[in-house]
Amino acid sequence: MKSINLIIENLRIAISAISSNRLRTVLTILIIAIGIMALVGILTAVDSIKNTISSEFVGMGANTFSILKKRTYVQGQETNKRKTAIKNISFEDARNFKKNYDFPAWVSVSVDGTWGATVKYKSEKTNPNIYVMGVDEDYMQTSGYEILHGRNFIENEIISGNNVVILGNDIVKSVFSKNENPIDKYVSIGNAKYRVIGVLKPKGTSFGGDGDKFCMLPLNNARQTFPSSSFSYEINIKPYEPELLASAISEAEGVFRSVRKLTVYDENDFRISKSDNMANMLIDNISVVTIGATIIGLITLLGATIGLMNIMLVSVSERTREIGIRKAIGAKPSTIKQQFLLESIFIGQLGGVLGIVLGIIAGNFVSFATKAPFYVPWLWIILGVVLCFLVGIISGYFPAVKASKLDPIIALHYE
């Protein structure tokens, strides 16, 4: 009980000493706050962006992989496989794969139509920057898109190539007046009219993307409307169970090699891309920024530690006579040491709290600019508190020891 009362009394004295030197204390607190703000702020922004990247790519289709046209060959490690020519994935390739892929998974086929379409309804029209794609009835299952109003395509519409369309949310906002139901209305895309059967849930525009400025046509309709030999089809596969992803990829590779009539001596003339590959690549690159930000923050905190230690040494010099009086009336060296340590820790924590608040605000300002959700970095808050505690201990220990070792007689004669 005595020790607790002693700590409380020392804390009261420390707060009184801090209050009596407000300007110096405020400057010290600001030095520490800037260091913590730099650390917490940048790390908050980085974590917020990481979370947004992950959620954006999960929204594109979690546990999904795609079979795509192979990129231009890049010189790398030599293999015993025979190099193959790079060629498009044809409609027949995609159709045969879907027919022969006997695995518990959804399989969809899609193709680019155009990136410069204009969608028109009555007198309203969009800019000529709408992406049009052709999809089959399973595309919703593998892409991560969901229907907000209306319905998905049915198999007969895909086979017949009916003039029906599913619109992205931004297109509906652009060409339909407020509260007007777009379902069963007719819009013009190019020179053709399409009946709207569905509207997609919005996906947002994080990182400058236009995730809602596009529309879907039945696959065969898109093939007829936008014929081009340069288009390569994309096959998306999503296993029913996430844990089957690796097996699904292996099976898909074997089936598509068979479809392409490749021998055991041939390299793949296609590539398989997992939905999280790009997300992981971006997150890995951002991790480098995290390391850099951490180093900058720690260097700033080192400066704050030196500044706080200097302030505490000045405080010991100014209060030498006070220390002598306290020792003369019976204060132990450990009590004097504790007083100055508590003062240093208290200043460090005040700076830490201010820095954490400023860091969260600064970090989320960046998040707001990238349209990411508000993020509270509990890990970095805890780290900030711990670091400020360490700053207080390191900065205050040497001045506290110096104060505790002062000779009371000499201290009483100090002017």
How far is residue 56's CA from residue 269's CA, in Å, rounded to a whole number? 29
How far is residue 94's CA from residue 122's CA, in Å, rounded to a whole number? 37
Q: Is the dihedral of CA 274, 276, 278, 284 positive or negative?
A: negative
402 and 301 together in one domain = yes
235 and 315 together in one domain = no
Distance set, CA 112 to CA 71, 216, 223, 284 (Å): 17, 10, 9, 30
53 and 71 together in one domain = no
**Structural element, H or E, at residue 217:** strand 214-218
179 and 287 together in one domain = no
Residue with tokens 């923050």: 297
53 and 96 together in one domain = no
322 and 298 together in one domain = yes
Q: Evaluate whether 43 touches 293 at the Cβ level (below 8 Å).
A: yes
72 and 158 together in one domain = yes
245 and 105 together in one domain = yes
45 and 87 together in one domain = no
Give per-residue burial for 268-294: e unless 16+ CB within 10 Å, then b: ebbebeebbeebeebbeeeeeebeebb
pTM, to two decimals = 0.59
Residuewise pLDDT in 10s, the chain (415 residues): 556 776 776 677 767 767 777 777 788 888 888 878 877 887 777 777 776 666 655 555 557 899 999 876 544 445 556 676 778 999 999 999 999 999 999 999 999 999 889 999 988 999 999 999 999 999 998 888 889 999 999 999 999 999 999 999 999 999 998 788 999 999 999 889 999 999 999 876 544 445 688 999 999 999 988 876 567 999 999 998 888 888 999 999 999 999 999 988 888 989 998 866 555 666 666 667 677 777 877 787 787 778 778 877 777 777 777 777 777 777 777 777 887 788 888 888 888 889 888 888 887 787 677 666 777 778 778 888 888 888 888 888 888 888 777 766 665 655 5
- Last residue of a domain, which of 274, 299, 326? 274
What DSSP character marks residue 80?
Answer: S
pLDDT at residue 318, as a whole number: 72
What DSSP character marks residue 87?
Answer: -
How far is residue 124's CA from residue 184's CA, in Å, rounded to a whole number? 17
The identity of residue 381, as a single letter, is I
- Last residue of a domain, which of 250, 274, 298? 274
pLDDT at residue 153, as a whole number: 96
- Last residue of a domain, which of 238, 256, 274? 274
List CB contacts of 202: < 8 A, sequence separation 6 or more: 148, 169, 170, 211, 212
Total count of domains within the chain: 2
How far is residue 95's CA from residue 111's CA, in Å, rounded to a whole number? 12
114 and 226 together in one domain = yes
What DSSP character marks residue 180?
Answer: -
Distance set, CA 414 to CA 18, 43, 128, 147, 242 (Å): 21, 48, 83, 81, 76
What DSSP character marks residue 231?
Answer: -
250 and 339 together in one domain = no
346 and 245 together in one domain = no
Q: Which domain holds residue 221?
A: 65-274
pLDDT at residue 207, as a whole number: 46
Q: What is the DSSP string of 321-344?
A: HHHHHHHHTT--HHHHHHHHHHHH
How far is residue 388's CA from residue 355's CA, in Å, rounded to a whole number? 10
Can you read off the two tokens belonging to residue 48? Answer: 């917020």
Q: What is the DSSP string of 334-394?
A: HHHHHHHHHHHHHHHHHHHHHHHHHHHHHHHHHHHHTTPPP---HHHHHHHHHHHHHHHHH
